[in-house]
Amino acid sequence: MTRAMIARSWPFILSICALGKVQGTASQPPRKLATPICGYRAGKIGHGDCRFVGIATPTCVLLHPPAALSRLSTHISMNRITPRDFRNAFVAVMKSEHDSFRTAVGFEAKSYNYYMRATIFPKIAKHLGLLSWKKQYYTLEGMFYEERGMDNFGNHAAYAKWISVALEHQNSATKAHESINKLQLFNAPLKVLITYAAEGTAADSLLHQYEKIISASDVFNDFATLRQQLVILGTPKTVREWRFYAYESDGFVLMLPT
């Protein structure tokens, strides 16, 4: 089979690339002998979208290119949220919801948590051009996303295609280390913990604990660049002020207003 024949047989071929040596016959699919280096396989298009074709020069062709192309373009256009973006959206929403928030501060813990998830989180997500999951998402208190997944019948599935922002809200600072640890289990470009601690020694101690947890989890050394972290600390009980700390390579740094 020649390249021209393949091109006619596979009108949606995205790429033909050398994949190393393969072995096979006309009646038996070729078997890969060495790990190939393929830009598409190494990128956004999954292995399930391509197949090896045994010809003179091995090629990689897409079996389902429309889906693969869609997935590639989707990732390229991802709305990536930075700690600064989230901070600005959070401040704007808290300002616009000042009166209702002051009322909610007086609620008991369960109702206050519900208010944050049902009222504050969706407004922050909208400010960022995202959607907010309406309930817990695989134990996460909150999750922002762009698109829901689809099942085999084209219906919306009970999960998002990817997590844009993973959120944890913890009333008790003494339990917040569990929340920051949980956040490390999720693959997301931004992870946010909201909790409460007085400025000074108490806050510094918490942040130091969080740094150790994050550092131990940072197996690919990319938490300061690709999978960023933000901790938001409110003043206990009164919640009159919020402080924002972004995780960088040398630890948490207080974010100042721009």
pLDDT in tens, the chain (258 residues): 444 444 444 333 333 333 333 344 444 444 443 444 444 334 444 444 444 334 344 444 444 455 544 454 444 578 999 999 999 999 999 999 999 999 999 999 999 999 999 999 999 999 999 999 999 999 999 999 999 999 998 899 999 999 999 999 999 888 899 999 999 999 999 999 999 999 999 999 999 999 999 999 999 999 999 999 999 999 998 999 999 999 999 999 999 998
Rg, the chain, Cα only = 24
pLDDT at position 242, please? 97
pLDDT confidence of residue 76: 52
pLDDT for residue 173: 86
Phi, psi of 81 (to 5 degrees): -100, 130
Task: State the pLDDT at residue 258.
Answer: 81
pLDDT attached to residue 174:
83
Return the half-sphere exposure (C-beta side, CA atoms, 13 A cut-off) of residue 72: 17
